[in-house]
Amino acid sequence: MDRTIAIDVNRLCKTYDSHKAVDDLSFQVYAGEIFGLLGPNGAGKSTTLRTMITLLHPTSGTATIMGHDTVREADKVRTLIGYVPQERAIDRFLTGREHLQLLGALYHLTKDEATKRIGELLKLVELETHADRPAKTYSGGMKRKLDIACGLLPDPKILFLDEPTLGLDVQSRLRIWDYVRMLKARGMTVVMTTNYLDEADQLCDRLAIIDGGKIKTLGSPVELKIALGGDIVSLTLKELDRIPSLEAELKGRPAITSVRTTTKGLDIRVESPEKALPAILEAANRLGCSIEFIQYNRPRLDDVFIAHTGRAITESIPEAESVS
Amino acid sequence: MEHYWQEISALTMRWVRRLSREKFSMLFTLVQPMLFWLIFFGNLFQRAADTQVMQAPNYISFLAAGVVIMTVLNNGLAGGVDLLFDKENGFLERLMSTPIHRTSVILSRFIFVMAITSMQVLVILGVSYLFGVHPATGILGVATILLIGMMFGVGLTAISMAMAFSVKSHGDFFSVLGFLSLPMIFLSSALVPLNAMPGWMSFLAQFNPMTWAIDAVRPLILSGWTEALPHVGMVILVMLVFDALCLYGGAKAFRRAMG
């Protein structure tokens, strides 16, 4: 596949004292995609993101944004990117409009350019009617919308979002997802960190699972799930002595990747459930196995995460690996 | 250059806007606690203080110079607080991810703190005037007082910003601040002239840049140019060294924090 590379991170390391926050990370982000960095807190996502947006200097390795090095050409990089920080980086005493005006000056827009763009952005994030109230009167969702408008003000080629929906209610979350999809539709490249599996699954074209400062796996959500070996059909049989014969019958059939005996039946990994399920039922019928229970599971991103990190994302990082 | 100016003026305007949104804070910025020092302390010690020792017609006219420099001290040491909050809530990162000159944020803070300090110093001198303290060197003397105040304030603000960029939490910041400010005041000539202090205190007070600033401001208020000029010349030299050291330290802390 021949796609333009927007971001190239090459053997990136960042060390604090003796702790390796990011350890030999390499990946590429294609132009026009939504790329996710998924991992638990302290995994190194934010460090990686901060390096890409020129706020951190790598201990070794490089990051280039549209061909520009984040250290040597930091100023050039800053003109290409927009950033939506993780904290509510809002000045409570300024109004929404004043936030955008301040950033307009920092991106060196003329008054007319700034006024025009601020009007468009306030409309986009539906803050027009609240634009002239101090931000301390805003709800969490409104602050997040303002955050995003601030990130979009420079009309960036690449937008960086750090945990964009952390702590938001469901409605606001869905709204933010809508914005992100719309930005992609407009041709923007989006890079986001998240520790929500459903967010990564729903939103990202490709994602990297990061843990302990290393990339554990990288690909599209679908690819990552398929790489686990496909969907699982679990059978519970009434007569346990029939299990071996059914296993022998099913092994090697098309659309079935593997068959494993369990205490009460079989776990069958299948490539395509449409083909596999009828075949399984037909074989069971033919051999006279009566099925007590049948369960069909499509692997979720949770399974991918557990397979690559050895634990669920909600579990805390083991002591030995956490930041000391 | 044009860009640089656009950045600095927008960032400075932000500090002004913030202040103007907080009506109480605005009021108390002008009617500051330092005025109480002047009014209460100045009048309270009127009879307790020996005018022979003070070398001044009354205690309040002696104290005026000290209160002016105390104002500079307080403003300067607190000058980094807003940057500390910006650092903690991520606003600073947002600013730093834009293509601004790395010094713009800091410079805007210096400009704002110096402007507020100048206004407060003028209020102090105005209230002193109402209590009969008329600066002996006139308007030019007042301008010189402001200059000395600015030179001392720049160094202090740099220290404050360096702390803001280096501390782990804002609790640490305020502990250090509270710890620094009282000894700075008592170990200076703000309240009592050096020759009336216990020996060990006057010894330490000599190394306090605040003493040098006060010793130059005081004759500007009490005596006149002939008495004041040597002190003014000296304090400018001392402050140049002081500022150079503070700015160097501040720049280092800033570079460490900002990568």
Domain boundaries, chain A: 5-220, 229-298
Q: Chain B contacts of A132, Cβ < 8 Å?
A: none
What is the H or E stretch that residue B167 is in? Answer: none
Question: Is residue B157 a part of any domain in this protein?
Answer: yes
Q: Which residue has the tokens 């009282």?
A: B182
* A148 in contact with B, Cβ within 8 Å: no
Q: Is residue B150 part of a domain?
A: yes
Whether residue A209 is predicted with pLDDT greater than 80 in this model: the reply is yes
What is the rounded CA–CA span in Å between residue A65 and residue A82? 12
End-to-end CA distance of chain A: 42
Chain B residues in contact with A93 by the CB 8 A cut-off are 17-18, 21-22
Average pLDDT for residues A100-108, to the nearest whole number?
97
Tell me what pLDDT residue B190 has.
Answer: 92
Of A78, A85, A134, the CB nearest to B98: A78
Could you give the 3-state DSSP secondary structure of residue A225?
A: helix
Residue B96 and residue A55: Cβ atoms within 8 Å?
A: yes
Q: Which amino acid is at A58?
A: P
DSSP type of residue A83: E
CB contact under 8 A, B6 and A98: no
Q: Which two tokens stand for residue A29?
A: 């982000």
d(CA A79, CA A156) in angstroms, rounded, equals 7
Cβ-count burial of A251 within 10 angstroms (0-12 exposed, 13-18 middle, 19+ buried)?
exposed
CA distances A295 to A160, A235, B105, Å, are 40, 7, 61
Residue with tokens 């080629």: A157
Give CA–CA dist B41/B191, Å, rounded: 9
Task: Give B90's contacts in chain A (Cβ within 8 Å).
Answer: 85-89
Bridge partners of A68, per DSSP, are A65
Spatial separation of the C-alpha atoms in residues B256 and B73, rounded to whole Å = 25
Q: Tell me the ipTM for this assembly.
A: 0.89
Q: What is the pLDDT tens value at each position of chain B, 259 positions in all?
A: 899 999 999 999 999 999 888 877 777 776 777 788 888 888 888 778 877 777 888 889 999 999 999 999 999 999 999 999 999 888 999 999 999 998 999 999 999 999 999 999 999 999 999 999 999 999 999 999 999 999 999 999 999 999 999 988 888 888 888 888 889 999 999 998 998 899 999 999 999 999 999 999 999 999 999 999 999 999 999 999 999 999 999 999 988 887 5
* pLDDT reading at A26 higher than 60: yes
Q: Which two tokens stand for residue A19?
A: 């702790």
Cα B248 to its chain centre, rounded Å, is 19
Burial A11-31 (b: 16+ CB within 10 A, else e): ebbbeeeeebbbbebebebee
pLDDT in the model for residue A289: 85
Distance from CA of B165 to the nearest CA of A (A): 14
Domain A229-298 in the same topology as domain A5-220: no
Interface of A with B in 45-84 (CB under 8 A): 50, 53-57, 75, 78-79, 81, 83
Query: Which pLDDT score, from 0 to 100, does residue B155 have?
Result: 97
In chain A, the residue whose alpha carbon lies closest to the alpha carbon of B83 is A91
Tokens 């350890």 appear where? A23
Is pLDDT above 80 for A217?
A: yes
In the numeric block, which tokens belong to residue A205?
Answer: 């074209």
Name the residue type at position A107: Y
What's the rounded Cα separation, in Å, for the pair A183 and A157?
10
Classify B168 in phi/psi space as left (phi over 0), alpha (psi -120 to 50) or beta: alpha
Average pLDDT over residues A297-319: 74
Contact A103 B98 (CB under 8 A): yes
Q: Are A130 and A142 in contact (CB under 8 A)?
A: yes
Euclidean distance between CA atoms A41 and A211, whole angstroms? 9
Cα B97–chain centre separation: 31
For residue B18, which residues of chain A lie inside 8 Å, CB to CB?
Answer: 91, 93-94
Do the chains contact at B14 and A107, CB–CB below 8 Å?
A: no
Write out the residue range of the structural domain in which residue B118 sits.
Answer: 58-258
Whether residue B45 is contained in a domain is answered as no
* CATH class of the region A5-220: alpha beta
pTM listed for this prediction: 0.85
For residues A147-152, give the mean pLDDT.
Answer: 94
Nearest to B90 among A85, A105, A106 (CB): A85
> What residue of A is the nearest CA neighbor of B259?
A56
Beta-carbon contacts below 8 Å between A and B? 76
**Cβ within 8 Å of residue B124, ≥6 positions away:** B34, B35, B38, B64, B67, B68, B71
Q: Which pLDDT score, from 0 to 100, does residue B30 have?
A: 67
Q: Please report which confidence band the pLDDT of residue A261 belongs to, taking 50, 70 and 90 as the band edges.
A: confident
| Integer CA distances (angstroms), B6 to A146, B33, B44, in order | 23, 35, 49
- Structure confidence at residue B24 (pLDDT): 76
Closest chain A CA to residue B13: A102
Q: Where are the alpha helices (DSSP H) in chain B?
A: 2-21, 23-30, 33-36, 42-44, 51-54, 59-78, 81-89, 91-96, 104-130, 138-166, 170-186, 199-205, 209-222, 225-258
Q: Is residue B128 in some structural domain?
A: yes
Please tell me the distance in Å from B119's CA to the nearest CA on chain A.
22
A322 pLDDT above the threshold of 60: no
First and final CA of chain B: distance in angstroms? 24
In a domain? residue B31: no
Please state which of the four CATH numbers 3.40.50.300, 3.30.70.920, 3.65.10.10, 3.90.420.10 is assigned to the domain occupying A229-298.
3.30.70.920
Substitution target in A91, A99, A111, A148 with the highest count of B β-carbons within 10 Å is: A91
B162 by DSSP, 3-state: which? helix
Q: Write down the residue that tokens 């100045």 correspond to.
A: B42
| Total number of domains in chain B | 1
Residue A113 contacts residue B36 (beta carbons within 8 Å): no
Closest Cα in chain B, distance from residue A257 (Å): 49
Give the pLDDT score at A316: 54
Contacts of A102 (CB under 8 A, 6+ apart): A94, B10, B11, B13, B14
Query: What is residue A315's predicted lDDT score, i.e. its pLDDT?
Result: 63
User: What gap in Å lies between CA A56 and CA B138, rounded to an integer?
Assistant: 52
